Amino acid sequence: MTAAQVDHLLDEAQDYGAINAIYFEGGEVFLFYPLLLHGVRAAAARGFDVGLVTNCYWATSHEDALAWLAPFRGLLSDFSVSYDHYHWPEQYG
């Protein structure tokens, strides 16, 4: 997907008029960080509530987590972490 395609989809959602929230999820959205950031900014600029779902693979330290998340400050209405038994480290069983 390209930034232009994201913009087109957001324009269609806005024109539809009944959509008030946009979520970025499925797979791991942070794998495409520049496109994710573009999409979140574009959705927020159009007035949507914006959420995203991530497994936080990128948050290997407190400092890394802050660096990755800082550009999203003030843009997100919801931030969800996906976590299940299939993705636990072995020591947590």
Q: Which helix (H) or strand (E) holds 53?
A: strand 49-54
pLDDT value of position 93: 53
Q: What would the two tokens of residue 5 be?
A: 């395609």
Order the strands of the 78-81 sheet from edge to edge.
21-24, 49-54, 78-81
Average pLDDT estimate for 41-69: 95
Is the pLDDT reported for residue 58 higher than 80? yes
Q: Range with the lowest mean pLDDT among 15-19, 69-73, 87-91? A: 87-91
Average pLDDT estimate for 67-88: 88
